[in-house]
Structure 1
Amino acid sequence: MWKTYAKIAWRNLKKGKRVALINIFGLTLGITAAFLLFTVVSYELSYDDFQSNSDKIYRVVTQDEYADGLSYNPGVSPPMPDALKEDLSGIEAIVPVVSSSVFVSIENAVTNTGENKFIVEDVFFTTPDYASLFDVEVLAGNMDVLDNPGQVVLTESEAKKLFGTWENAFGKSILLSKRVEAIVGAIVVDIPDNSNFKFNMLASYQTLKSNAEVFNYNFEEWGSFGSNFQVYLLLAEESDATQLDQQLLTFAEKNYKDRGTSKKSFFLQAMSDIHFDNRFEPISGEMIRKATIYTLALIGVFILIMASINFVNLSTAQAIGKSKEIGIRKVMGGSRLQVIGQSFGETFIVVLVSAIISSLVATIMLPYLSKVAEVPETVQLITPSFLLFSTAIILGVTLLSGFYPALILSGFQPIQALKNKIQVAQIGGVSLRRSLVVMQFVIAQVLMIATVIAVKQMTEIQSADLGFSKEAVYYFRIPTDEVKDGRMDVLKQRLESNSQIKSVSVSSDVPSSGNNWASNFWFDGKREDVQFITFLKYGDADYFENYGLEFVAGGGYSESDTLKEAVINETMAKKLNLTKPEDAIGKTITIGGSEPWLTITGVVKDFAQNSLREEIKPFVIATQKSNYEVLGLKLDGNAGQETLSNIEEEFKNFYPDAIYSGTFWDESIANFYRRENQLALIYRIFAVISIVISSIGLYGLISFLVGQKLKEIGIRKVLGASITQITFMLSKEFILLVFVAFAIAVPLGYYMTDQWLQNFSYQTKVPLGLYVIVMLVSLLITAATVGFRAVKAAMGNPVDSLSDE
């Protein structure tokens, strides 16, 4: 019986090839989109789920409560790991993890390139207990080597980079930061890409402690908090995170009461939250907001619903054409259940074919997925979870798409069906189909609104007044492990003599970066902490001109190697309750609440120290040569590759043992918004897909209406109606559908985009004209889709439409 049903279903599909192809095309679009979005969402949700102890691993994080709000830090102070071991109970392991990049040199180059100097990123200084928390597969050696100073563990790929093969690396000697000897005591398998603990090297924590001055750490300084100095706990089976949070509150009260300008507290962050909590950046890799994940999943659901709506509209439009077939089947003894089975069979075949095509299309598109999402090019489509998801999609879409058509077809009365007397009301009328099309246009317009606003926001951010000049600024880092012996000053002078370089400045950092350096401070001769912290940058006297920082009061300071004078920003002046910026000139300030007192010489216009997602912070800029490690250059407009090559050559002349890496500043700033730009691109892509699917839905509805009004069209033509009049008659009601959809889409689109814009301190203004543009585009799409089918119907021969069988 089922074999017969399958044959009949296949014949019916072949008979209605045009509608079947339209259905397959629409469903293929929707299912392909769902498959690709599933790949992105499942990849993001899979971060570190391969860790066998993931449900018992927690990070200790820091919260500072100031008079004007809360501040969060994923790191702790250097003395805390040992102190926590003394004060906490119910813990199986306490593991410090200190992330850094390290200059590595080897005595004899063994790689094909002949290089013997490398910068190794994502180096974790830690203890042997790291392997108790996190899953690590050892290829050679033993993780216990991390209990001793001068021992490192390399990943397989990093070992190959340094020594040619990982086998060559095992047991070899390397030099860290040019002064610390270490032995490669173990080789481990590379950590998967979907991990926020992806390291290239593990170095023993004892190496860091015994060479604290080399790596610039003070293990007695309780007030020093860095985001890269983190602590992880493995809870005992009987322990509860809430109880540990109470112990951490007691710990904070014991060690930080009346210390500094904030009320400091610590609490546990579950490992499952690390990839999604934007308050605390992960120690390595990317993080993503859960709202973004939900948005992507919702887009996939919407696209599938739109594709299913199309199927419903087109299938019910065909229902009258199948009435005689249904009538004969029922007269021959067929039950309603059998008709439903037959209808679902046809739907299943269409969905199955669409899903197979979608799998092929998604596989072809997979390598390009990394362009619009933070997934590696090696991500796999066919996985056990994908097979389960695709099965659910096939069954779900079959049910969603096939239920209503099956219900309608199975309800035909045999006599009426055989006489071809099935009426519109008997197949649900047009009101339901209009509602479904309105739903499609609501989804499409919401995506269009989101696309327009996201693109506008990112365009304005890229062209916003950041308070500095980022164009033609090139910078590189001076090696911090080199002795400060005057070479930096001479290098600066040499570069200043190049006619293609307008200005040069040495500093601790460029004005806008992902770095934050903060401190307590005293102000205006009062020897007490001001009740908020200030953020810091150190730069020479050329810093302000080189980066185009504008003064609203006073000016820059004189050249000095040590702390002497300072410049603050407008926000700092306002938070100090100064009436106007000029009032700051001549007042004094200290950094860290200790001598010397610095005289404020100027106030610069506020500039974006980080991305425009963050609010402007109070800032102090001062001179302190010991902290300089960045050399920035303002290039002439005619400067080209030859100038960049000359800069690199000069660097190597002064620092022959260092690794050179220059970057254009505007490229670094653009990298702040990589995730947002990707999301804006996703909105664009799926807005186009939704428009295409909506057009198919419109075509299905107009086809249905034309089928019901053939006699009316014929009579009107016989009575003298023109093609234009008939086309207008068929099209006018769709204009109303667009307006109804627009009225629903605007508040939904506004709410979604407003929530997204809350992530930025700088937010674009959304003029009413943007919403009007979305409506006009919808009207144009409607006119093009409906007009084509309406004109075709209006041009038909009235004799054919008025004939009655």
Structure 2
Amino acid sequence: MFTNYIKVAWRNLLRSKWAGAINIFGLAIGITAALLLFVVIQFEYSYDKFQSHYHEVYRIVTQDEYPDGFDYNPGVPNPVPDAIAADNLPFEKIVPVKSAYNTQINLYPEDNKAAIPDKFEIDHVFYTTPDYVELFDTDFVSGNAADLAEPNKVFLTKETAEKLFGDWKGVENKNIEFSSGLKLTVAGVLEDMPMNSNMRCEILVSYQTVRSNPEIFDFDFDSWGSLGSDNQLYVKIAENTREETAQNALDAFTAKNFKNRGTSEKQLLLQAFKDIHFDSIYGPLSGGMIRVSTINTLIVIGLFILIMASINFVNLSTSKAIGKGKEIGVRKVMGSSKMQIIYQSFGETFLSVLIAATVGVLAATMLLPFLSLIADVPEKMNFFQPVILGFLGLLILILTLLSGFYPALVISRFKPIHALKSRFQKNRIGGVSVRKALVVIQFAIAQILMISTVIAIRQMNMVQEADLGFSQESIYFVEVPFDSPTEHRIDAFKQKLLTNSNVVSISLGSDVPASDNNSLFNFYFDGVNEDVPFPAFAKFGDENYFDTYGIEFLAGGPYQASDTIKEVVINETMAKRLLVENPEDAIGKQFRLGIMDEWATVTGVIKDFTVNSLRDEIRQLVIAPKKDFYHVVGIKLNEATSLKTIAQIEEEYNQIYPEQIYHGNFLDESIQQFYESEQKLALVFKIFACISILISCIGLYGLVSFMISQKVKEIGIRKVLGASVAQITMMLTKDYFFMVFLSFFIAVPIAYFMMEKWLESFAFKIPISVSLFVLVMISSLVITGMTVGSKAIRSALANPVDSLSDE
């Protein structure tokens, strides 16, 4: 019986090729979009779920509460891991993980240590203890975790070993050297770690290495005031101990060790490992991070597109019912039951969905390599995974039921006498009001995505065009290694670059004006030896820092040339928070960072500029000279700069730092990387807004086709009685413009709520204006006019003789 239903469905599909093609095309678009979005969502939710202790591991993070707000750090102060172990807190495992990013490895020829080495860059290096493998699944190809208890021992992943030595086999006991001078012995090889992990690293080094090389790491294990995001701590709560109990013990530990330390109220908090990937406050150790709101947005978009595609199918299928009237009438006269008619209708729906799914899978497979353009997923992914295939099967089932129920219900209600004579009332072909309501829903969804797209584009345009308070134009910066006390290569590099006619000015500093780097210090002000009750964000740069980056002074000027902190410059936010009402009044005041022994003089107050990204509020900032911290060379280039100039800069670098890998970038390109995830989400909105408009137009065209087919004789009579083409066109289209207006008022509050939540992640954001909504409404009316008007005008121009003679 089922085979018969499919055969008949196939014949009906071939009989009405145009309508069937439109149905399948609309469904295929929806299925393709849903599959691609599901791949992204499934990948993001799969992060670290392969870990055996996924639900049992916690990270200890640090929260500092100041009188005017909070500061969050995923790391812990240096002594915390040892102190927790000594206090016997209720943790079964205590695993410190110190991370390093973009670490350079040098391999020298065995017989010539003075030669220029082969240079390699490693994304993530973890320093940890043997207990690391007790918390995080680590597969050893050779060696064992016991070597992580020995100093200067290192494990390489297969991929890293092949990168360094050409083959991962036989690399045990070979030596590698970090550019810092740290020499390590390879103790073994690890399997490559999955991409969907926030504990992904290429190299594991024993934690004891940090303890044994204090001159290289400059890491004080007794400094309770030292806190960095690269020094993290992971724990497993003792068996039969509740999370609340462990947190209470951690609170007692915090009160004991941090009371009267610094100006903040510090709290150590347990963060579930399963929450790290979705946490935008603390962020992951490595791997990717995605906001839950972004995941929810992708889910909503996917549902929207599927609902729209299903609505299209319903509208077009009920429209086709007119042509199937005689077939249904004959079937009923010949004894077919109502359920058999329903089964037949579902058979046609299933066949259409199955064909659309096949087309969708093919399209999704071809588009999969481009998925990384809109999401942080690997460029190569296996589409045919059990979970994805399971989703596809469920999708086919749901779409068949969702799209087939209403058409089957409508067709099964046909009366044989009316069906055989093709005399249908509107309510017998499925209420027109129902189909119009479905189109209203379609256009509401389309307008939600259109509004979201316009807001996202405007916000990203604002970000790109915003005045950050410093110059981005023609600024090129190069990262250099820190000079040792006996070396001054950075000065030699600067002097070499100044001989280039395309170089306008150069500044040496710890950082460019806007980056993800933050250095916080306690500080003292106006000669009072008492901590100010909030931290100072600090950047260090030479006397040319302000001129090179185009930073504007409100009062005073830059400090004199110095290798140490004798004078400082503060920003206007710092001045206001120090209750200095007039910037001029801050000039000459005494200022001392916690790392300083002597007081320094404030020489100037600068206009606020964006220190991090536009997601963050302006920070209270101090800039001071301190040569020990300089490792960024900022180069202002003139307008005649070409790629040749950049090549010359790299050549000079390689001559002075032959053992180092070159890192150079334009400042504006570096700043744009802050907003990569938002740019990708904006692109998602653009793509799916276009898809929604396309699907809406298909649905609208199907509905107007049905409506006009019901009014053929009416149109003919009106033309005979003298109605103009314009009058007939208006009669046929006015209802649809009303539907667009109605859908607009449904879409506005939903879109406003969605995008207001999205904009909350930005400290600086565009206002959502009325003009934006008006623009979308006008666009919707134009799209509707083009879609409906083309069909209506063609019908209004038809010969009334043909219309009236058709029985």
Larger displacement relative to structure 2 (761-770 or 276-285): 761-770
Instruction: Render the CA deviation track for 1:298-334: whole Å, top value 9, x for unaligned.
Output: 0000000000000111111112222222122122221
Query: Deviations 1:6-55 (Å, cap 9, x if unpaired)?
Result: 21111111111111000001001111000111111111111111111111
Work out which of the residue numbers 585, 588, 593 in structure 2 matches 1:586.
588
Asked if the contact 2:483/2:628 (under 8 Å) is kept, the reply is no
Q: Secondary structure at the match of 2:278?
A: coil
Q: How does 1:614-653 map to 2 (within 5 A)?
A: 614-653=616-655
User: Identity rate of aligned residues, in percent?
Assistant: 53
Q: Which structure 2 segments of 5+ residues have no match?
A: none
Does the 8 Å CA contact 1:474/1:663 hold for their aligned counterparts?
A: yes
Instruction: Give secondary structure in 2 for the equivalent of 1:71.
Output: strand
Aligned residue for 2:290, secondary structure, equals coil
Return the match for 2:772 from 766, 770, 773. 770
Matched, 1:23 2:17: no
Match of 1:216 in 2: 218
1:48 aligns with 2:48: yes
Question: Which sits farther off after the overlay, 760-769 or 570-579?
Answer: 760-769
Q: Give deviations 1:709-760, integer Å, cap 9, x for gaps.
A: 1121121122122322211210111111111111111222111111111100
Partner amino acid, structure 1, of 2:568: A
Q: 1:345 to 1:40 in 2, by over 3 A?
A: same
* 1:113-262 superposed matches below 5 A: 116-262=118-264
- Cα distance between partner residues in 2 of 1:216 and 1:389: 52
Structure 1 partner of 2:108: 107
Which range is displaced more, 516-525 or 469-478?
Answer: 469-478
Q: Which residue is equivalent to 2:418? A: 416
What is the aligned partner in structure 2 of residue 287 from structure 1?
Answer: 289
1:77 and 2:77 matched: yes
Structure 1 residue 491: Cα displacement = 2.1
Residue 326 of structure 1: which of 321, 325, 328 is its match?
Answer: 328
Contact 2:24 2:353 in 1 (8 A): yes
477-486 or 404-413, which moves further after superposition?
A: 477-486
Task: Indicate the residue corresponding to 1:522 in structure 2.
Answer: 524
Structure 2 residue 98 is matched with structure 1 residue 98: yes
Query: What secondary structure is seen at the aligned counterpart in 1 of 2:14?
Result: helix
Q: CA deviation at 1:481?
A: 6.5
Q: CA deviation at 1:579?
A: 1.0
Q: Could you tell me which runs of 5 or more consecutive residues in structure 1 were left unpaired when the two chains were aligned.
A: none
Contact conserved, 1:90 with 1:238, CA < 8 A, in 2? Answer: no
SS in structure 1 opposite 2:59?
strand
For 1:225, what is the secondary structure of its paired residue?
Answer: coil
CA RMSD of aligned residues (A): 1.6
State the one-letter code of the partner of 2:384. I
Amino acid across the alignment from 2:772: L
- Point out the more displaced range, 551-560 or 414-423: 414-423
Equivalent residue, structure 2, for 1:501: 503
Aligned mates of 1:480, 1:631 — CA distance in 2? 11
User: CA-to-partner distance for each residue in 1:102-137, whole Å, 9 max, x for gaps?
Assistant: 332223289xx9952333231100011111111111
TM-score by length of 2: 0.97
Q: Secondary structure, in 3 states, of the residue corresponding to 1:307? A: helix
Aligned pair 1:539/2:532, yes or no?
A: no
Query: Which secondary structure does the structure 2 equivalent of 1:93 belong to?
Result: strand
Instruction: Look up the match of 1:396.
Output: 398
Counterpart-to-counterpart distance in 2, 1:630 and 1:109: 32
What SS is found at the alignment partner of 1:166? coil
Could you say if the C-alpha distance between residues 168 and 547 of structure 1 is closer, same or farther in structure 2, counting changes exceeding 3 Å?
farther
Amino acid at match of 1:664: F
Q: Which aligned segments of 4 or more residues in structure 1 are displaced greater than 4 angstroms? A: 481-484
Give the distance between the partners of 2:2 and 2:366, measured in 1 at CA.
Answer: 34
Mapped partners of 1:103, 1:212: distance in 2? 19
Moved more, 664-673 or 159-168: 159-168
Aligned to 1:540, what secondary structure does the other structure show? coil
TM-score by length of 1: 0.98
Counterpart of 1:730, as a letter, is L
**2:483–2:489 Cα contact (<8 Å) kept:** no
Cα pair 2:516 2:612 within 8 Å, conserved:
yes
- Asked if 1:566 corresponds to 2:563, the answer is no
Give the structure 2 partner of residue 723 of structure 1: 725
Residue matched to 1:369: 371
Q: SS at 1:319's partner residue?
A: helix
TM-superposed deviation, 1:418 = 2.1
Q: CA contact under 8 A between 2:567 and 2:601: conserved in structure 1?
A: yes
| Aligned equivalents of 1:804, 1:547: Cα separation in 2 | 79
Query: Which residue identity is paired with 1:104?
Result: I
Residue 350, structure 1, aligned to residue 352, structure 2: yes
Q: Is the 8 A contact 1:277 1:287 kept in 2?
A: yes
Question: Do the aligned partners of residues 804 and 367 (structure 1) sit closer, same or farther apart at CA in structure 2, a change above 3 Å counting?
Answer: closer
How many angstroms apart in 2 are the aligned matches of 1:745 and 1:484? 67
- Structure 2 CA distance, aligned partners of 1:800 and 1:135? 76
2: distance between equivalents of 1:364 and 1:272?
Answer: 33
Q: How far apart, in 1, do the equivalents of 2:501 and 2:564 lie?
A: 30
C-alpha distance in 2 between matches for 1:377 and 1:593: 45
Q: Deviations over 1:114-162 (max 9, x none)?
A: 9523332311000111111111111222222111001001111111111
Matches of 1:35 and 1:260 in 2, distance apart?
Answer: 52
**Aligned partner letter, 2:336:** G
- Give yes or no for the alignment of 1:339 onto 2:341: yes
Report what 1:57 is aligned to. 57
The residue number in structure 2 matching 1:4 is: 4
Following the alignment from structure 1 to structure 2, what is the Cα–Cα distance between the partners of residues 117 and 381?
36
1:645 alignment partner AA: A
Q: Is the 8 A contact 1:104 1:119 kept in 2?
A: yes
User: Closer, same or farther in 2 for the Cα pair 1:288/1:200, shift >3 Å?
Assistant: same
Letter in 2 for 1:257: K
Residue 146 of structure 2 aligns to a residue whose secondary structure is helix
Shift of 1:2: 2.0
Q: Flag the 1:291–1:178 CA change in 2: closer, same or farther, 3 A.
A: closer
Corresponding residue SS for 1:39: helix
CA distance in 1, matches of 2:123, 2:16: 60
The total of aligned residue pairs comes to 803
**Residue 639 of structure 1, CA deviation:** 1.6
Q: Equivalent residue for 1:742?
A: 744
Q: Which residue of structure 2 aligns with residue 67 of structure 1?
A: 67
The amino acid across from 1:410 in the alignment is S
For residues 209-230 of structure 1, give each alpha carbon's deviation from its aligned partner in whole angstroms, at most 9, with x where no partner exists: 1112201211110111100100
Q: 1:765, CA displacement in angstroms?
A: 2.6
Which of 475-484 and 64-73 deviates more? 475-484
**1:775 to partner: Cα distance:** 1.1
Q: What secondary structure sits across from 2:739 in the alignment?
A: helix
CA–CA distance in structure 2, aligned partners of residues 379 and 605 of structure 1: 48
Match of 2:682 among 663, 680, 683: 680
Tell me which of 248, 269, 272 is aligned to 1:270.
272
Number of the residue aligned with 1:700: 702
Cα separation, 2, equivalents of 1:554 and 1:531: 26
Encode CA deviations 1:241-287: one digit per residue, 9 max, x unaligned: 22111111111101001111110001111111111111102111221
Are the aligned partners of 2:117 and 2:659 in contact in 1 as well (CA < 8 Å)?
A: no
**Worse-superposed segment, 114-123 or 125-134:** 114-123
